[in-house]
Structure 1
Amino acid sequence: MKRFLCVAALSISAAFNAIAFEQTYFNGYTGFLAGVQNEYDSDDFDPCTTGETFLAGQIDFGGRLFLRGEFYTRANDIFDCDALNEDQPNSNFRVEEVSATYKINSTHASHYVSLYYGNFEPIGSDLFLQRQFGIKPIRSSFTDSFHGLAGARLYPLYAQGIGYTFHPEGDFAAGVNLYKNKAAKEDGQDDILNFDIRMASLIGNSAIDFTAGLALPSESNEGDDDALIYIKEIQLHGGLNFLVGNRNTTSVLFQVGVNKFITRKDTSDSENDRIDLKDVWAFVEPRANGKYMSIDTAGFLFPAEAAQDMIFLRNVVRRYPGTENVFGANINIHTDKLYAGATRISLGAHTTLAFSRVDPDGDDKIETSLCISPYAGIDILGGSLSASVSVNTLDLADDPEKSYSATIGFKTQF
């Protein structure tokens, strides 16, 4: 009997060890943002209320297998009942990420193999740094959005592919990715294979995340009976996300990214090597944190596609249809040292001088905006409630009804 009980106990123990991998943990994140702004194609007071929300979740199977899903929805007017109009759809839905990552442990290293679809750990976001090193976010509040967990990305990415990350002991990780970028559909290049390398590290008080990639568009020569497939050009892309300094005192965030640098095979033509400003992201933000107040100053160059997701720049893009990129400077004076009892309150204001490069008819022109955007946040109900108001002071005299915008949002983790 004792032998039977001993064997049974060993069997149960082995069974529990075998299914330890299947022990699951779930966590998620969600947010909702509503915004009010006058319709820019209207000459009268005609406010429009937009809405957007995201929902992200992760299932962790014993620290070995991670299944992630994230979804995003936007409504151009949440009070418009004609949401299913095919000619002018009022809302859109997008799968931001569906991925599966399997972790393999070896001597002195961890290996991660991922299958993914969507906006998976894009460069510019600090998701890769957080997941590999467990650091706190390093992103700028100026580029905040409610588009999802990833936040700002240095160039459009909506990938379908496979990735491998090697993380030895210490604060270093490297990876490779092979994917098709569905974000290149408008250029007719969504079926092109991309190959990227990525390296990230923590060095003292600094964090660095770098990626570089290659795409080889090809086409067939159909003039001959024996059609040949040849590479018509070489496309390079890459990005750098780098925070240097002590985030509790003084630090600087550097971000630079290029979506597409084209090098054609015919090197005799100087026009073959080119880069378009609408494919460039550049951002530098020195930060100074004091005992009671902090000041962040920034210079930026953003593609319009990226700026239209940002809370403090989206209305500048909407103000001037046809905007290709936005550049300028911003200063953010803020504090999160205020408390109402045990409830933490943050207050601040962005002052933004922005120049919009507009090319609606093939002729470049520059539109200027000077926006003052006070904002506030409060930790409540297990999440963060935020609100902001933005006024374009240069519109106050001529178009006062188009000079304002306001938002209110809530984010929470569960």
Structure 2
Amino acid sequence: MIKKMMLDYTNKVCLAPMVRSGELPMRLMADKYGCDLLWTPELIDKKLITTTRIENKQLNTIDFVAANNNHQNSKKPPTEAIIFRKHPQESGKLILQLGSSDPELAVEASSKVIKDVDGIDLNCGCPKSFSTHSGMGAELLKTPELLCSILRNLVEKIGKPNNKPISCKIRMLANFDKTYKLVEQIVTTGISNLTIHCRTPNMRNRQNPFWNYLPKLIPLIEKNGVSVILNGNFQSKSDLIAIQKALNNDKISIMMAESAEANPSVFSEVPKSQDQLITEIFELGKKYHLYSGTKFLIMNMIPGKSKYYQIFSQCKNFESMEQEIIKMNENKTIEQWKNDKIYKILNKNCQKSNSFNEEEFVKEMEKRSVEVEKFFGAWKEDAMLLDLNDSPTKRTMEIPKHKLKNNRNGNVNKRQKIEAV
């Protein structure tokens, strides 16, 4: 039986923790369009500890700020950086994701913010260097004793005294027995929820996630009174319905990252077009966020083949961007512009961009639902519990023309492609 806490993780569609993308404007957009639970970007314990809590009466937000130390030789006065900003609209659904590899630091950092969030989630899955340094993120999967020690300390010293749930987010291991043992250890720490990113630390987000182990892992997790959220290339609310039906379990939740980053209205039944969303998130960014951060959010929402990608990339401030947004909204019915992909729904599928109208989007999600049902309908234990082939695939992509460097003769360099892993 699933634990009853102040926060219920079951049967939910959630916004994933995303560095830079999961800031307040994105969370407010996701909430507006029906997101049930909101994760902050990963916040590092040592940084959180240095913050000061400020009630921002002008914006009606709670800000955690830290000194932004300039170079010692700089004549500029010290400035303050907002590490975390919370809006009252997020109350009852906001989970702070914590980066830590030290039980004491994890508790100290969490104690500073626990009154203003609805849960603490330990990052045990991100494989990027900004998360794995000092043994954090996916590195914790290699030290399960330390991982579980952090969770137990958070449960006993933060969760229970404040009646707030503690959770964690992991990636799978390539071997089933090792994954099962790891999960078995984690779910006995007293946590309320376990989020499984259905890729291994070696994998990249352009690779399809593995669902092979889920029919064995989910019963183990729920048997210990812990709820389950699944993450990895989920793209719509229909994905939740499909996987619940395929696994005959209406308690399962899903978490969306890349699809929400591209289109934060994906939490609704039928998402809005990109031009509408860009207009909305611009206004939120102008009010609650820095220009550089707002531009980052908007550029992720513009299809690469749109004429507006270059236009917006050249904007230098809120004023110039606002002018381009006005033009974008005026151009919607003009023949030369109306077929631009910015006026469609942007969908991301393992980092591949697709643009749909409403009818096309619904049909695409229906096709995905059939694929989910087909996969679990054909699930056989002997085949599915074999070791995963999780080698990262290489990606070859063209360098955008504006990023190509000219040689001394003014000609574009011959190297036209790059490989990324």
Task: Tell me the TM-score normalized by structure 1.
Answer: 0.29
**Which structure shows the higher strand fraction?**
1
What is the TM-score with the length of structure 2 in the denominator? Answer: 0.29
Q: Which has the larger radius of gyration?
A: 1
Higher relative contact order (CA 8 A, sep 6+): 2
